[in-house]
A and B are shown apart, each in its own frame.
Chain A
Amino acid sequence: MGIAGQIAIVGTAMTSFGVLHDMGYLDLVAEAAHGAITDAGLTMDAIDAAWLATAEPQTSGLIGDSGAAVAEALRFSPRPVTRVSNFCTSGMEAVRGAALAVAAGEYDIVLAIGAEKMRDVTPKGSLVAKTAEGSHPTLAKGRTAPGQFALLANRYLDTYGYTRDDLARVAMKNHRNAMSNPSAQFGSELTMEQVLAAPVVAEPLGLYDCTPTTDGGAAAVLSSREWAEANASHYALIDGVGLSVTGGYVSNFFEESGDYLGFASTRAAAARAYRQAGITDPRSELDLVECHDCFTITEIVNTEDLGLAERGKGVELLRSGATAHDGEIPVNVSGGLQACGHPVGATGVRMVVEIADQVTGRAEARQVAGATKGLAHTLGGPGVIACVMVIGAP
């Protein structure tokens, strides 16, 4: 059997996201995993296998570069643990891998964990150093994550005639949303003036156009639909999932087809997920979307690539208020990467947790009224990997 409609999310949890100097990598794994298992009404003994997403173990002394971290953190021996890493889609890859194993009939109840301990080093010593110093000696040397998304921002603003103010609207919306999310890294409102006056990171992106560097963990317990129907007190179903990988880490920038106005990976992953979920008009059929707003420009092009707006019209969708919490298609009601923070391996799991909680009516202060179908989307590396998952109420 496939995943679509057959795999249930029966337990969810996340740690606080932020600069957590009192928690180590294993603490993040343990808190998230125990939280999700408890939420499922289970004990550790019930879990058959685990998937661990950590993208950047070099920021935490290489703890988390294999499944051994789960055995250590959860006293999980001798059960199987698979560590996955697929850029910023790593978290959703853990969920997808766990779901595939249940769909294959190999296990009944599995755990997907995402954790990233990024702030044991300074932000500059974290991903900036990895890209600047660890990457190819010559090809694309000089790129950083904000620098590569600024390529998009400049091209997008130039092509469609929008301004930095429009980018700022994303940061303002998502920071406002995070005020209802006690687990978010940031929890206060931003003004347009604050966003525009922030220190420059990679022109035209300023500090508030960028996701921060974050510690955090999230976890979900997955089972078959049959098990959930018989045993779970609450559950959501994975209605469809798509993963698309479109190019190389470096060679992507040299591809003649790149228009720097969006991501083919997202469009391909969304097409598959929508087909599986039977969605033909995502803007009307989805109740909310969590998408990969690593930079403000990214959310704008994501909404286009996910089919919520035509190409070039993402800004108009944003300006109209349709993506606000009380809008027609709320985007990133959690606060998104912009305000929740972005512990890379945890982010995709956090999004799945958010959508599962929303469609089961358990999202508390930020509940989107009546939500029964939502979408989680992560985008990885220079935009060459995207994962899209449609999650619905049973």
Chain B
Amino acid sequence: MDQRAAASAFIVDAQVSLGRWRSKTRRGTVSRAAYDEDAVTMAARCGLAMLDRNPDVTPIGLMAATVSAPLPEPGIAPFLAEILDIRSAADRSGPEVSELAGSVSAGVAAVAEAARRVTGGRGPVLVLVSDDRRDTKGRPLGAAAVALLIDSVGDVGGVTPAGSGAELFLDRWQRHDTPGVQSGDRSLDRYSPAKGFADGLDADRVLLSTAFGPQIEGAGFPGCAAPLIGLFTSDAAAGRDLVVASSAGGISHAVRIAVGTRFSDIRQQAVDEISGGLRGKRPADPDESAFTPYSSQAMAYRERSQTFRLLAARNIETGGVVFPPPPAASSAGFEPYHLARTGVVVTFARDHVFPFGGPLSMAVVELDGGGRFYGQVADRLEVGIGDRVELVLRRLHEGGSVPNYFWKIQPATTGAT
């Protein structure tokens, strides 16, 4: 097979989203998640940006990849499919939602798999690659997500699977009973299958990632997302061909990218994202051990549409928007309506007695298109009356021993969209 055959799958759009903080470490400045961010919330942020910016492309598949799912089982894909409304149809012919894990090469593998699906007529596919990577002492190594919307046409670049391999090699690993990643004897690296894998690729230029790097200054090494951030921060010109290869934990994957005309737009967004973020001393995580909020899996299931997709109800006659939506038996005269995630602050309060995550600002937001939202302002941000703000998904707490996600408020200027 001609490895350089013309692509039949293309990147329509892409976005890099980093954790909120930039922290200096001995490996340079790395991206770091706020206490209420994780692989789900970072992926949701750039996934929502994809859907917002491309209303004409409806993904019928979701390929997620992570090695830091807050819940290793069931992973991040079920949350993301719910948030992004990429869910199975009743006739079982609906979207394909799946998740890769196990090695940080899963990020590149997810892109390759999405290209195969699109080539096979099973697209468009949204790829969401997200990791909050830390060492065994909990120190940040990098926290970021990358979204790629892949379809049969697209201006960012053509994408073709370019090879894969497997050879047992424990360069880095995570145990289920200890946090973070650990590594063994670095002198073993010269036996890594990564170099041989890259050498075997037919390409003018290969961007090779291993389990350790390369480090991206400002982003660090955010796991599965690292090779793709490496791609979108590279200075490849339109018309060039390059191969993104990732080899870690003995699993190797590569995709070939035929750089398109809009690649430079994505690169600019990625560079801006890396240079943004909050700097300085990141506050310590609030102590969750003394906070035991009520939570119910039955309620969470019942209310999933309102919780993850802000499903409200709109009065057909008056246009008035009600959230949360009224009970079914009281919903005559209403139609389903999804709240916008942007709006203007009506009022706010900075609360010093709420026992978790404080001092905590709460705000009431008049949403664009109707309806209101009342909730927490994201950590270390302030809003005032009349400010434009947006809603971002965050982890509220661990009530019921699972992450409880909901929307927080942040100034519109700091957001992705």
A contact residues vs B (CB 8 Å cutoff): 124, 128-129, 132-144, 146-148, 150-155, 158, 199-203, 250-251, 253-256, 258, 260
Name 17 extra pairs, CB < 8 A, besides A253-B364, A258-B372. A137-B295, A137-B400, A138-B406, A141-B396, A141-B397, A142-B351, A147-B351, A148-B349, A150-B350, A155-B347, A201-B351, A201-B353, A202-B350, A203-B352, A254-B323, A256-B321, A258-B346
- Asked if B35 is an interface residue, CB under 8 A from chain A, the answer is no
| Contact for B293 among A141, A151, A155, A158, CB less than 8 A | A141
**Smallest Cβ distance from A63 to chain B, in angstroms?**
22
A124 near B353: Cβ-Cβ < 8 Å: yes
| Interchain CA distance A258-B326 in the complex, whole Å | 18
Distance in angstroms between the alpha carbons of A144 and B354 in the assembled complex:
6
When the two chains form their complex, are residues A155 and B346 in contact, meaning their CB atoms are under 8 A apart?
yes
Contact A137–B352 (Cβ < 8 Å):
no
Complex-state Cα separation, A140 to B404, whole angstroms: 13
CB < 8 Å A-B pair total: 129
Which A residues lie within 8 Å of B324 (CB)? 139, 250-251, 254
Q: Give chain B interface residues in 257-314, CB to chain A under 8 Å.
A: 291-296, 299-300, 307
The answer to whether B295 and A255 have CB atoms under 8 Å apart is: no
The complex places the Cα of A139 from the Cα of B323 at a distance, in Å, of 10
Whether the pair B385, A255 counts as a contact (CB closer than 8 A) is no
Given contacts A137-B399, A260-B346, A260-B347, contact A146 B353 (CB under 8 A): yes
Are A141 and B406 in contact, with the CB atoms below 8 A?
A: yes
Q: Which residues of B in the span 312-371 have a Cβ within 8 Å of any Cβ on A?
A: 320-324, 346-357, 360, 362, 364, 366, 370-371
What is the minimal beta-carbon distance from A260 to any residue of chain B, in angstroms? 5
Contact residues in B for A128 (Cβ distance below 8 Å): 353-355
Q: For the complex formed, measure the closest distance between the CB of A374 and the CB atoms of chain B, giving whole angstroms.
A: 32
Closest to B370 in A: A256
B300 CB contacts on chain A under 8 angstroms: 137
Say if the beta carbon of B197 comes within 8 Å of chain A. Answer: no
Minimum CB–CB distance for B309 against chain A, Å: 13
In the bound complex, do residue A154 and residue B372 qualify as a contact, i.e. CB atoms below 8 Å apart? no
> Is B373 on the interface with A (CB-CB < 8 A)?
yes
**B374 CB-CB contact with A under 8 Å:** yes
CB distance from B21 to the nearest CB of A (A): 21
Name A200's closest neighbour in chain B (CB-CB). Answer: B352
Q: Is the CB of B292 within 8 A of A133?
A: yes
Task: Name the A residues within 8 Å of B17 (CB-CB).
Answer: none
**Residue interface mask B383-415, A partner, CB < 8 A = 1:** 001000000000011011000111000000000
Question: Is B376 an interface position by the 8 A CB rule?
Answer: yes
Query: Which residues of the other chain, B, contact A139 by a CB distance below 8 angstroms?
Result: 324, 406
Residue of A nearest to B326 (CB): A251
Q: Is B375 an interface residue (CB 8 A)?
A: yes
Chain B contacts for A253, CB-based, 8 A: 364, 372, 374
* Cα–Cα distance between A278 and B293 once the two chains are bound (Å): 48
Decide: A140 and B375 in contact? CB cutoff 8 A: yes
Contact with B404, one of A137, A152, A260 (Cβ below 8 angstroms): A137
Q: Which residues of B come within 8 Å of A, CB atoms?
A: 291-296, 299-300, 307, 320-324, 346-357, 360, 362, 364, 366, 370-376, 385, 396-397, 399-400, 404-406
User: Is A251 in contact with B323, judged by CB distance below 8 angstroms?
Assistant: yes
A129 to B406, CA, bound (A): 20
Instruction: Decide if B294 touches A147 in the complex (CB within 8 Å).
Output: no
A131 to nearest B CB, angstroms? 9
Smallest Cβ-Cβ distance to A149: which chain B residue: B349
What is the CA–CA distance of A258 and B406 in the complex, to the nearest angstrom? 22
Chain B residues with Cβ below 8 Å from A144 are 351, 353-354
C-alpha gap A155/B366 in the complex (Å): 14
Given the complex, which residues of B lie within 8 Å of A250, measured CB to CB? Answer: 324
Contacts of A203 in B (CB 8 A): 349-352
> Contacting B348 at CB < 8 Å: which of A137, A143, A154, A254?
A154
- Closest Cβ of chain B to A71, distance in Å, is 31
Q: How far is the CA of A124 from the CA of B370 in the complex (A)?
A: 36
Smallest CB gap from A155: residue in B: B347
**What residues of B have a CB within 8 angstroms of the CB of A158 in the complex?**
347, 385
Closest partner residue, chain B, to A133 (CB atom) = B293
B294 touching A133, Cβ below 8 Å:
yes
Ordered nearest first, which 9 A-B pairs have the shortest CB separation? A150-B349, A253-B374, A147-B351, A155-B347, A138-B406, A203-B350, A142-B376, A137-B295, A202-B351
Contact of B349 among A132, A199, A202, A255 (CB under 8 A): A202
Chain A residue nearest to B374 in the complex (CB): A253
A143 to B363, CA, bound (A): 10
- Report Cα–Cα, A241/B406, bound state, in Å: 41
Q: Return the contact of B355 from the options A132, A154, A200 (Cβ within 8 A).
A: A132
B347–A147 CB distance below 8 A: no
Known contacts: A256-B370, A260-B364. The answer to whether A150 contacts B351 by CB under 8 A is yes
* A131, closest chain B residue (CB): B354
A134 touches B294 (CB 8 A): yes
Contact partners of B396 in chain A: CB under 8 A: 137-138, 141
Across the interface, which residues of B come within 8 angstroms of A143, CB to CB? 351, 354, 362, 374
Contacts of A199 in B (CB 8 A): 352
Q: List 8 A-B contacts (CB under 8 A).
A: A133-B293, A137-B296, A141-B406, A150-B349, A158-B347, A202-B350, A251-B322, A251-B324
Query: How far apart are A338's CB and chain B's nearest CB, in angstroms?
Result: 17
Contact A141-B355, Cβ < 8 Å, known A151-B364, A203-B350, A256-B371: no
**In the complex, chain B residues whose CB is within 8 Å of the CB of A152:** 347
Contact present for A154 and B349 (CB under 8 Å): yes
Contact A202 B352 (CB under 8 A): yes
A153 to B320, CA, bound (A): 26
How many angstroms from the CA of A158 to the CA of B387 in the assembled complex? Answer: 13
Return chain B residues, CB-CB under 8 Å to A255. 372
- Complex CA gap A254/B375 in Å reads 10
Contact: B354 with A142, CB < 8 Å?
A: yes
Q: Is the CB of A146 within 8 A of B323?
A: no
Q: Decide if A147 touches B385 in the complex (CB within 8 Å).
A: no
CB distance from B209 to the nearest CB of A (A): 37
| A21–B385 CA distance with the chains assembled, in angstroms | 43
A39 to chain B minimum Cβ distance, whole angstroms, is 38
* Alpha-carbon separation in the docked complex, A150 to B376 (Å): 14
For the complex, give the distance between the alpha carbons of A176 and B294 in Å.
41
CB distance from A295 to the nearest CB of B (A): 11
Determine the distance from Cα of A155 to Cα of B346 in the docked complex, in whole angstroms: 8
Q: Whole-angstrom distance between the alpha carbons of A139 and B385 in the complex? A: 21
- Chain A residues within 8 Å of B347, by CB: 151-152, 154-155, 158, 260
Residues in chain A near residue B371, CB distance under 8 A: 254, 256
Contacts of B292 in A (CB 8 A): 133
Q: Are A142 and B362 in contact (CB under 8 A)?
A: yes
